[in-house]
Structure 1
């Protein structure tokens, strides 16, 4: 029976490597992640058997040939994936029959370190989303009584004749307005409709650069390292502007000492990258945007939670800016990460590109 690889094309965007082989181990199909993992094209992979790449696969295949049951499963076995001339890497392998064809076996392969990273990222994303959902619900609960408090304070103020007493109602109104502003910021990402249009990313970055440099006219250098091959992408221009502005402004505010010394530097970098993981998906082509500063770095205790709502490294920060950035990035199907050490903090965004 001939094998129709088109049945597996939907697996091509998976983060994990996927091989399809027959009972003898002849490779019939490999998705993009598998090709990237092996460093070989599908054409070259088809010239070898799965046993060449996985030490233990010969034993698994022999077991399946002896007992070709639909329930056959090799779950998360630790093995080494050979990829000459590079060193073998430890991987976790799951092997099972193709649902519609017991003559075909699927081998799912994930580097062991990537498994830990994916689990950690999934856990952090779930925590972040749960926190945002909790805050959103809390903001809705606060909004109505807050309006009542402000209205009552205004009515009370109209009944007071002593200026000293009016100072108290003014404090109540002022604090109610401050809380209302905070509630509005929490709810802002969920009120904006996502409206993607063809967008020149460099045009957005340049507009934001000029704005930030006008706010910090002295002592701040901005280096532009743009990849001129970057195509237009489908993006919400308002959200993309907000993403860039928040990251650049945060970077500038973190460079106060360097600005005073005249050594502050922010680097805006864009690249088209291939075969990368974007969130929980594998992407053939993506846009990578970096906002890099030479500040003191993010405190280690904040690195893992920096995108959580109400988490901020600034004394007067609301902790909503980076949470908003992450929300907007995810609405574009992208992902954002940060690496930080003394002298270099790099916020890296990946957006899938449709070419």
Structure 2
């Protein structure tokens, strides 16, 4: 290998853009470390493999690659959805450039992941809405709690002046309702207490939730555990995390119980996995834990999916709409992320928690 060849290889190996080189049969000749990281495969072990053994997109995409070889025609594709060999889906932009070397047409693929950018944009919008909602709730809470205190105090004074004990039932109703509204407002505000962090096995949290749900459901729900036992302990607040997961699982149980049609026995799955090089906010983490709560209930109505983490938003007539708002607040304090995907018969709440964490967020 010449000095120039070594320099070219060094440049390719240190590019942050995922780069692959295919021969005329669409088999892998080279991939740089950025591509290995993106596709979660080894370039050395994958050498000579057909492109579909690395990732799949569509039959049309293969035809376009073959046409690029035959006609030496470069092309770009935007927001293509690739499925890696690990089953992970990736949204990417990629450019294909034909190259000529020793009488053969090679294809240079430059792959730019869009998932990170799309997730950052979505997260920023979600966090902005969350902060706006917090300000509105705090302002509303202040305006409600002040007159509530006056109403409660006046009812207590009036109760002392009433000549008939039976009339005090009415003032007691006023006092009790004022207390109920105050407690509701306090729940909307959430706790300002920072998490009490300690090294905890995430499966202890899930098992605690599973035991509670099994006791509440009395056999009407099948709980499926799909754990990755290799996940190390996390620096989390155990009680807060139990509350966060319990809110989601309990919502799933209630949604399944409220189904009008027969979809068979209700099922809730608790699944844990690790993900490498995952972005939360503007921080890219080497390793995160992904906790999925999956149910086969009726799903979340499409019109509610963008607002389910707002306070007072609920799909049930008797719901308070506070459970998921509290859950999101807890996950945010742990520098994590929560996402939801739902359609009839399949709802997934995904919680992402970094394995390395800084100071908790107030």
Q: Normalising to structure 2: TM-score of the pair?
A: 0.68
Which residue is equivalent to 2:343?
341
Which residue is equivalent to 2:14?
29
Question: Are 2:90 and 1:90 equivalent residues in the alignment?
Answer: no
Which residue is equivalent to 2:239?
238
Which residue is equivalent to 1:327?
329
Give 3-state SS (helix, strand or coil) of 2:308's partner: coil
Contact preservation (8 Å) 1:291, 1:347:
yes
Distance 1:333 1:208 in 2: 22
Contact preservation (8 Å) 2:91, 2:115:
no
Stretches of structure 2 that go unaligned for 5 or more consecutive residues are 1-6, 19-33, 45-74, 85-89, 96-110, 358-362
Distance 2:17 2:330 in 1: 27
Give 3-state SS (helix, strand or coil) of 2:248's partner: helix
Q: Does 1 or 2 have the higher relative contact order (CA < 8 Å, sep 6+)?
A: 1
The structure-2 alpha-carbon separation of the partners of 1:32 and 1:332, relative to structure 1 and needing over 3 Å to count, comes to farther
Distance 2:280 2:257 in 1: 33
Distance 1:88 1:153 in 2: 61
Distance 1:165 1:249 in 2: 41
Which residue is equivalent to 2:148?
146
How far does residue 280 in structure 1 lie from its aligned partner after superposition? 3.5
Higher mean alpha-carbon deviation, 257-266 vs 134-143, is at: 257-266
Aligned partner (choices 250, 262, 265) of residue 263 of structure 1? 265
Number of equivalences: 283
Higher mean alpha-carbon deviation, 218-227 vs 260-269, is at: 260-269
Give 3-state SS (helix, strand or coil) of 1:189's partner: coil
Stretches of structure 1 that go unaligned for 5 or more consecutive residues are 1-21, 44-77, 93-108
Which residue is equivalent to 1:247?
248
Higher mean alpha-carbon deviation, 273-282 vs 121-130, is at: 273-282
Contact preservation (8 Å) 2:91, 2:113:
no
Question: Are 2:253 and 1:225 equivalent residues in the alignment?
Answer: no
Distance 1:263 1:38 in 2: 37
Which residue is equivalent to 1:137?
139
Contact preservation (8 Å) 2:259, 2:298:
no
The structure-2 alpha-carbon separation of the partners of 1:202 and 1:180, relative to structure 1 and needing over 3 Å to count, comes to same
The structure-2 alpha-carbon separation of the partners of 1:142 and 1:89, relative to structure 1 and needing over 3 Å to count, comes to closer
The structure-2 alpha-carbon separation of the partners of 1:40 and 1:266, relative to structure 1 and needing over 3 Å to count, comes to closer
Root-mean-square deviation over aligned CA pairs: 3.7
Which residue is equivalent to 1:210?
211
